[in-house]
Amino acid sequence: MEDWAVQFYLQGEWSKEWVPTNALPEAVKVTLRLKDYGEIERIYLTGGGSLNMTQESVENAG
């Protein structure tokens, strides 16, 4: 693994830090950069979270 990152989604925005300690983000994005496979990005929804993405974002995510 060459690099990794975690981001948190709340109210339509991604953040690299999660400040609220009494709530869950709507989603968590994990990005891994691997030497053999390049960049792999996965988005995990938390309970009750929904993620609204543009069609361009959906196409770029695959």
AA letter at 60: N
Structure tokens given for 30: 């994990």
User: Which residue ranges make up each domain of the chain?
Assistant: 3-61
Residues 6+ apart with CB under 8 A from 53: 61
Is 3-61 CATH 2.10.70.20?
yes
Rounded to two decimals, the pTM is 0.71
Quote the pLDDT of residue 9.
92
* Section 40-59 average pLDDT: 74
pLDDT at 57 over 80: no
